[in-house]
Amino acid sequence: MNSLFIKYKNYIFFLILLFFLIVLKTINPSFIKSVSHLSFDLYQKVFPLNKQTSEVIIIDIDEKSLGKFGQFPWNRSIFAKILENVSAAEPKAVGFDIFFTEKDKQSPEEIISAYNLIPNDVVELQKIKGPDEIFREQLEKSKSVIAVLGSNVSSHGTYDRSAKAKFLSKGGDPKEFTYSYPYSIGSLEKLEKSVKGLGSISFLDQTDGIIRSLPLIVRLKNKLYPTMGLEMVRIGSNQKNLYVEMNEIGINRISSRPYKISSDPNGIIWIRYKKSLKSQYISASSVFDEKFDPKRFKDKYVLIGASAQGLFDLVKIPLGVTIPGVEVHGNVIENILDQSYLIRNPNTYIFELLFSIIVACATFIFSQKIKPKYSLSIFFGSLTTVIVIGFSVFLFRSELVDISYPIFMLTITFLTGLYFRFVEENRIAISNLQKEAKLLKERELAGEVQKSLFPDISKFENFIYATNVPARDVSGDYFDVVNVNKNEYFFTLADVSGKGIKAGMYMAKASSIFRTLSNLSFPLEKIVFGVNNELVEAKFKGMFVTAVFGKFNIDTNEITFVNAGHESIMVFDRNKNFEFIKSEMPPIGIIKYFSESMVKSKTMNLKEKTFVVYTDGVTEGYLKNGQELGAEGVQRIVTGLNDITPKNIVDSIAIELNWGAEKLRDDITCLALDLKNTELVKFTKKQKDKTDG
């Protein structure tokens, strides 16, 4: 039995791993869902829906409208006027992606209440028709839809509302399968009772905040409501009823004649997004002023919502962009009208899993039986097959097939197979002597990496100077100075977490990226953005870099710098008044930046000032008395100097710490910048040879 286990241990471990991957997919926790969403989003990014025209027009509460009517919410008479102007153009339906939860503050009763007026004195005021009543009358005259929203918290002042649509079901009760909320939020009762429809604007919670799908029908306080898009189509088609067809696993299809929409068992559809059209939007102020062509609204579905930044109704979508929330409902209406919505068939899940198991098993077996270069062809062939199937089904059937998790399974099992093959073929070759040789090679390689990272900046030492004293064979710190033109310089000083060859390779990558981007004269923020994201992509697990990046101009004395999780920067003037500038950012290499605006930089003028950066090996370094130097110690050293030059500062700090102990506590790395003398140092050949030596 034992010999049998040894013979087939690779396959046993593989089956255990495969079982774990299957169980993980079956449980489908949120992080696994996020893996699947990668492929769902990729489909739409690669093949976005391109439309030049739309059946949906959005009346936009934009910055222009806010400038005209003032801060939001507006007087209801404004909406009444907009609705009146639009309705005159005979649209199919008008939907409000807005709540009107409270009485208009400019209504007569609200004014009387606010100023505690005596009713006898304001008889005439009471006769005035308020904005809410004006708006209500327009709602009653028009084919309008108002939004409702599911809530887990009861709303003050709400009433027992009911949907305008009548639901007819066949094959079961849809309430058993729809997403449910115990409460609902909406508008004033008299407004809701005057409209033709009530549409839900409830989105499903997504861990990454991207709106990929939504429920066509939801249950609010045990009553069914259609989503805003479906309700708009119902009103536009002059239908009273919505039909829900059930099967043995849940909801199968939802209809509003003549449109039939297939959904998942919970009534959810996946939205197919088109690229945003500027022509689809018109400013609310333009509609109010009647500055539009009535034909633009004729037989169209009209949504009223906000794109203004200050109103915070912006959402992320799979195309990788942010759009106003009202445009999501516009896409739903278009999807229903032209049947372009996406389908996530429950049976597809079983196919994905079975196909993944078959391909993973075949790939693993080949990795054990044939040479790695041939098994690699099998692996890439399998990957290509999965990708082609996924995109083909998306393009020709509008169905979402998860290719991300099968690719993940395939990669894990293939790498596992290669690993076992490698272990098997190299089992005899492993020995203590090889381990020693590996350690020696690691130190030698790390030492070579280290030497290549530190530049010769001796010709700049009049205004910038740096040094590194490693505590061991390999230093975890580095610095660099790049002269990009006659007047401008980039510099960095950094501390890489970890030790050994891994830290050396990580440092080499960071240094090469910094030098490459600096030589291109990119803005400092873009350089830090690029270095950070490249390090994140490098996937050196558990490693990061604390660093100070800077750019200075020797003519203007201006310096721009970024402190990414590093020690405080010391700045002092000619009178030795000290300032310590703390970091406002985390170390780089931890989280991916999505925009350069995430990089926080500072700019200051260094005229009559000195700029000093050091690693924690300086502040935590031991003095002869056994105490740590600390930032106060650095300040003490600088205060005691008569001649303030970058080289004097750096050398004095290094000498104070490198006093002859057997081992340093940590690497000593320090950089100083003073622009009072920006003349380059000229070396004779003899001096240069001596310096190099």
Q: What is the pLDDT of residues 321-359, one digit of tens each?
A: 999 999 999 999 999 999 999 988 878 888 888 888 888
Q: How far is the first Cα of the chain from the last one, in angstroms, to the nearest whole number?
A: 66
* Domain shared by 361 and 334, yes or no: no
* Domain shared by 352 and 325, yes or no: no
Q: Are 459 and 661 in contact (CB under 8 A)?
A: no
Domain boundary among the residues 313, 338, 363 is at 338
615 vs 618: CA distance, rounded Å: 6
Q: Both tokens of residue 682? A: 């000229």
170 vs 534: CA distance, rounded Å: 55
Q: Are 500 and 690 in contact (CB under 8 A)?
A: no
- Grouping H, G, I as helix, E, B as strand and the rest as coil, residue 508 is helix
* Residue 432 covered by a domain: no
Position 660 confidence tier, pLDDT thresholds 50, 70, 90: confident
Mean pLDDT of the chain: 86
Find which of 153-162, 301-310, 433-442 is predicted with most confidence, using mean pLDDT.
301-310
* Domain shared by 221 and 354, yes or no: no
Residue 652: per-residue pLDDT = 92
The domain that contains 556 carries what CATH number? 3.60.40.10
* Domain shared by 673 and 565, yes or no: yes
Domain boundary among the residues 426, 442, 474 is at 426
Q: Domain range holding 397?
A: 2-47+344-426
> Phi, psi at residue 605, to the nearest 5°?
-100, 130
CA 566 to chain centre: 25
* Domain shared by 360 and 333, yes or no: no
Q: Residue 266: name the closest of 352, 197, 180 by CA.
A: 180
Q: Residue 323: name the closest of 283, 289, 278 by CA.
A: 278
What are the DSSP E strand ranges found in 47-163? 56-61, 93-96, 144-151
User: CA of 259: how far to CAs of 233, 242, 253, in Å?
Assistant: 9, 10, 10
Residue 273 has pLDDT above 90, yes or no: yes
Residue 122 has pLDDT above 60, yes or no: no
Residue 333: per-residue pLDDT = 95
* Residue 617 covered by a domain: yes
* Domain shared by 308 and 358, yes or no: no
Rounded to an integer, the average pLDDT of 111-117 is 59
* Domain shared by 484 and 572, yes or no: yes
Residue 420 has pLDDT above 60, yes or no: yes
Residue 186 has pLDDT above 50, yes or no: yes
Q: Both tokens of residue 31? A: 């992080």
* Residue 233 covered by a domain: yes
- In the chain, % of residues over pLDDT 70: 89
* Residue 317 covered by a domain: yes
Domain boundary among the residues 410, 426, 442 is at 426
Residue 68: left (phi > 0), alpha (psi -120 to 50), or beta? alpha
A 10 A CB-CB count for 563 gives 22
- Please, what sign has the CA dihedral across residues 247, 250, 252, 254? positive
The DSSP H or E segment spanning 85 is helix 76-87
* Domain shared by 415 and 478, yes or no: no
* Domain shared by 488 and 534, yes or no: yes
What's the one-letter identity of residue 645?
T
* Residue 440 covered by a domain: no
- In the chain, % of residues over pLDDT 90: 50
* Domain shared by 320 and 386, yes or no: no
What's the one-letter identity of residue 79?
F
Residue 126: per-residue pLDDT = 55
Q: What does the DSSP 8-state code read for residue 213?
A: E
Say if strands 241-247 and 166-170 run parallel, antiparallel, or are unpaired: parallel
* Residue 446 covered by a domain: no
Nearest 5°: CA angle at 83, between 81 and 85? 70
Rounded to an integer, the average pLDDT of 57-78 is 90
Position 11 confidence tier, pLDDT thresholds 50, 70, 90: confident
* Domain shared by 316 and 456, yes or no: no
* Residue 497 covered by a domain: yes
Rounded to an integer, the average pLDDT of 678-685 is 75
List of residues 6+ apart from 139 with CB closer than 8 A = 83, 146, 191, 194, 195
Please count the structural domains in the chain: 3
- Grouping H, G, I as helix, E, B as strand and the rest as coil, residue 245 is strand
What are the DSSP E strand ranges found in 161-227? 166-170, 179-181, 183-185, 197-200, 213-215, 217-220, 223-226
Q: Which of 90-99, 100-109, 455-464, 525-534 has the lowest mean pLDDT?
A: 100-109
Residue 302: per-residue pLDDT = 95
- Grouping H, G, I as helix, E, B as strand and the rest as coil, residue 668 is strand
pLDDT tens column, 569-597: 999 999 999 999 999 899 999 999 999 99
User: CA of 202: how far to CAs of 208, 244, 265, 304, 459, in Å?
Assistant: 17, 19, 18, 17, 65
* Domain shared by 466 and 490, yes or no: yes
Q: Are 159 and 105 in contact (CB under 8 A)?
A: no
* Residue 127 covered by a domain: yes
The two most distant CA atoms of the chain are separated, in Å, by 105
**pTM higher than 0.85:** no
Q: Both tokens of residue 95? A: 């939907």
Residue 235: per-residue pLDDT = 95
Q: Which one has a higher pLDDT value, 48 or 225?
A: 225
Position 205 confidence tier, pLDDT thresholds 50, 70, 90: confident
* DSSP track, 256-300: ETTEEEE--TTSEEE--PBPP-GGGEEEHHHHHTT-S-GGGTTT-
List of residues 6+ apart from 313 with CB closer than 8 A = 97, 305, 306, 307, 324, 325, 326
435 vs 486: CA distance, rounded Å: 50
